[in-house]
Structure 1
Amino acid sequence: MTGYDAVLFDNDGVLVDPPPTETQIRAARAAFESVGVDDPAREHVTGVVSGVTVDFLHEICATYDLDPQTFWTARERHDERSQLDEFRNGTRNRYDDVAAVTDLEVPCGVVSNNHHSTVEFVLDHFGLAGSFDTYYGREMTIESLELKKPNTHYLERGLADLGVGAESALYVGDSESDVIAAERAGLDSVFVRRSHCRDRDLEATPTHEVTSLHEVTRLVCD
């Protein structure tokens, strides 16, 4: 299908550079240190950076006799601060081709696994707030981990805000979880092969694959 009535976009890796792994690792170590753990196991540091589940978080915290809520609050604040610092100092930037989708004549939104407050900052910092009718990131809570993509929760909230059915909407992402979430929610999907995911093998099959957001514009307008 081409020609859509609404488009939802992922944030990191689609609109802006994804966070460098080393930055996330430093932020996670800082979070551990802030709650009194000076030498956490590497697998626990990497675990809270990528793909952490509620059960694994509780397992990690039990290892160091930490209150999960206290530690997770520290982790989220250090992670957010590290991201905002990199946007402010220019380490991370918006992609040049974002300009191609800022004037689409259909309702648009952003749905991200990143913090809602970080998405809000990005849209304001890069002058994109007026280009999107709604946006969702996850709350800084342990419970929000259950709602991350490929869960369809935030996609469905975005569609409801735009007042458009899933069958005529498109979700643009850069990960397999984006493709799966779109499929589960009933949307067509676009996988953007940026430099960080150009050679990634996908088990899920996106509706479309592109290398630039200029191609997304053509999909929407055809």
Structure 2
Amino acid sequence: MKPTLIFDMDGVLVDNTPVQARAFQLLFRDLGLTTNARQLLRRLNGMPAGDIIQSVFRHSIPQKQLDIYAEQREFLYRTLYWSKRRALPGLVAFLKSARAEGFNIGLGTGSGGPTLSYILDHLDLRQYFDVIIGKDDVPNGKPHPDTYSLTAAKLGAKPESCIVFEDALLGEQAAYRAGMRCVAVATTLPGKAFQAPLAVIKDFTELTPARLLELLAQQPEAPRPQKRRV
């Protein structure tokens, strides 16, 4: 049986994390906060925006207010990224090749519906995914396993047959918590920052479905998640 491939979106399908960080930084500036957004995302990238924003405050922020802040950040991000949207090099060719080889392909992201459309529909990528799971489909975002577990369930795949593509440490841990293996996409973090990926790639020109099967055979079981990383 061919493995199932599950992709994160931000930082994996597109190299947009620096723009995400810039949007957070502008929001923090408006709120009078001095937090370094780029450093913050090195730790918390993959979480829903509201959870990331809450982490900056020492006191609890009402959910309604967090939603407003998240919407402001989303507006800033879309404005900054509008003319820069493009798929990671080699992505479309890899997806087409994987599809031709009989792989099931899903998307599991912490982004919501409008943000999904902003990337997937603009770049015409939705056609390559059999299942798409976003933040509104699960009770708990990454590093909880819900996103990837539900994606696999919708695809009818067992966790041990799934390979997750992630650019974030919390996303890698979510994959391991779901009993899956992971390929690290080093768009934002160096490969050495990840725990135990099957491989580290800069983009999809560095990987083929055949090579993925070879790597899978070298790591027969999913690594155990590390508590210190979440």
Please indicate, yes or no, whether the TM-score normalized by the shorter chain is above 0.5: yes
Alpha-carbon shift at residue 54 of structure 1 (Å): 5.9
> Does residue 192 of structure 1 match 2:185?
yes
Alpha-carbon shift at residue 220 of structure 1 (Å): 4.5
TM-score (norm 2): 0.72
> Does residue 25 of structure 1 match 2:32?
no
Across the aligned residues of Structure 1 and Structure 2, the Cα RMSD in angstroms comes to 3.2
Find the residue that maps to 2:210 and give its secondary structure. helix
CA contact (8 A) 1:87 1:93 kept: no
> Does residue 13 of structure 1 match 2:3?
no
Code of the aligned partner of 2:210: R
CA distance 1:134–1:79, change in 2 (3 Å): farther
> Does residue 208 of structure 1 match 2:216?
no
TM-superposition CA deviations, 1:141-172 (whole Å, max 9, x none): xxx7x822221001011111111111111101
Alpha-carbon shift at residue 56 of structure 1 (Å): 8.3
Higher mean Cα deviation, 202-211 or 168-177?
Answer: 202-211
Find the residue that maps to 1:189 and give its secondary structure. strand
CA contact (8 A) 2:12 2:167 kept: yes
The structure having more radius of gyration, on CA atoms, is 1
> Does residue 180 of structure 1 match 2:180?
no
Structure 1 runs, 4 residues or longer, greater than 4 Å off: 52-56
Alpha-carbon shift at residue 221 of structure 1 (Å): 6.0
C-alpha separation between the residues in 2 aligned to 1:59 and 1:178? 20
C-alpha separation between the residues in 2 aligned to 1:161 and 1:82? 33
Q: Please point out which of 75, 81, 93 is paired with 2:75.
A: 81
Code of the aligned partner of 1:213: F
CA distance 1:120–1:216, change in 2 (3 Å): farther
Partner in structure 2 of residue 37 of structure 1: none
Alpha-carbon shift at residue 202 of structure 1 (Å): 2.6
Find the residue that maps to 1:159 and give its secondary structure. helix
Find the residue that maps to 2:71 and give its secondary structure. helix
Q: How many residues matched?
A: 200
Code of the aligned partner of 2:8: D
Alpha-carbon shift at residue 5 of structure 1 (Å): 2.5
Alpha-carbon shift at residue 15 of structure 1 (Å): 0.6
Percentage identity across paired residues of the two chains: 20
CA contact (8 A) 1:28 1:78 kept: no
Code of the aligned partner of 2:34: R
Code of the aligned partner of 2:82: R
> Does residue 128 of structure 1 match 2:125?
yes
C-alpha separation between the residues in 2 aligned to 1:186 and 1:87? 34
CA contact (8 A) 2:184 2:194 kept: no
CA contact (8 A) 1:25 1:46 kept: yes
CA distance 1:46–1:150, change in 2 (3 Å): same
